[in-house]
Amino acid sequence: MQDDMDEACSCLFSFGVISDIQYADLDNRLNSVGTHTRYYRNALALLKEAVDCWTGDIFVLRPDFVMQLGDIIDGFNNKGGKAQSLLSLAAVLGQFNRLPCFVHHVLGNHEFYNFTRAELMNSRLFSGADFEMAPRDPKCHCFDIICNVEGTSAYYHFSPAPGFRFVVLDTFSESIIGHDDMCPISQESLRLVCSINKNEDLDSSAGLKISEKRYLSFNGALGEKQLEWLEGVLQEACFAKEKIVLFGHVPIYPINGDHADLLWDYQEALKILCSYRCVVAAFAGHTHHFSHCVDKTSGIHFVNLPGIVEVPPGSNGFGTVQVFSDRLLLYGVGQTGNLEMMFPGSVPAD
């Protein structure tokens, strides 16, 4: 008990993590490839359970803020029109409203199945308004309708405590689905994917080489502009002696050889990340299963969270991360495992 108290006292801050809630008022059904059941209504119950935990009596599980890593509602909601999408979104946000702390929302592919980029940037799912954002890509025409944040991007960074900088990425900055059909970025992305993926269904990787399997319409890229911005953030963080933790929906690293759920430009992103010793970890969703690996060259930890929508009743898939001067401790629930993630160059305690 005393050891737990001592550890809690040395914790600098903590944050909650959850991903791929994909709530919809629908009966259970298999995913599009028939491999896993999706428990659409139960997803809301599991989110409620997560919020109950984060607001409960166990001190180490009460976060200072929460990172929601995308796909907050399911794309099936759009079959009921915008009204149904908004109704489901309100139900999910109603649970997050119970938290006494800030919630950072990352944009996933299912957000774009329900809303336009301009709508998202005018909604509560755009959580970067109070933080340090970059100007939007001038090639993007998605803000030519009324939008009160016309000059901003969906990626940003913030410092949760001295010595740390958290970076929220837009993994659909360049994508087919993340922009309006007439936007040049969407058209360029479609040409890129179609030049590699010859399937009629661009969500299918049938016939593609392993190195090509990421070129699917439900993935995307950071793009040159965001990569330049990211490198600038890393340079400043290294100069300020800050540790960097990144968050995005689509993974940056092919954990366990998974190349189907991966950024189109993951190699360019990894080259930048591995060039800076200040980067300690990157969290993602999208894959719907929990996984973790450490890059052997840089020592960066890469973590993918389970998809809440595919967690059966009786289990869950969220977590709370405690941050220390030399490591991250992930306290997982259900399908999210426990992890001790030592920072590169740190030595584990005896």
User: Mean pLDDT by 10-residue block, N- to C-terminus, for the chain (350 residues)?
Assistant: 57 98 98 93 98 90 96 97 96 98 98 94 86 62 43 87 98 95 94 98 96 98 97 98 99 95 98 97 98 97 99 98 98 98 71
The predicted pLDDT at position 122 comes to: 87
The predicted pLDDT at position 8 comes to: 60
The predicted pLDDT at position 150 comes to: 46
Task: Convert 199-222 to b/e letters by CB count within 10 Å (16 or more is b).
Answer: eeebeebeebeeeebbbbbbbbbb
Among residues 123, 122, 150, the alpha carbon closest in space to that of 138 is found at: 150
The predicted pLDDT at position 58 comes to: 82
- Taking the model in full, what pTM does it have? 0.93
Q: Helix-strand-coil percent breakdown of the chain, rounded to 5?
A: 30, 25, 45
Distance CA 39, CA 5 (A): 37
Among residues 53, 15, 67, 77, the alpha carbon closest in space to that of 309 is found at: 77
The predicted pLDDT at position 129 comes to: 75
The predicted pLDDT at position 132 comes to: 62
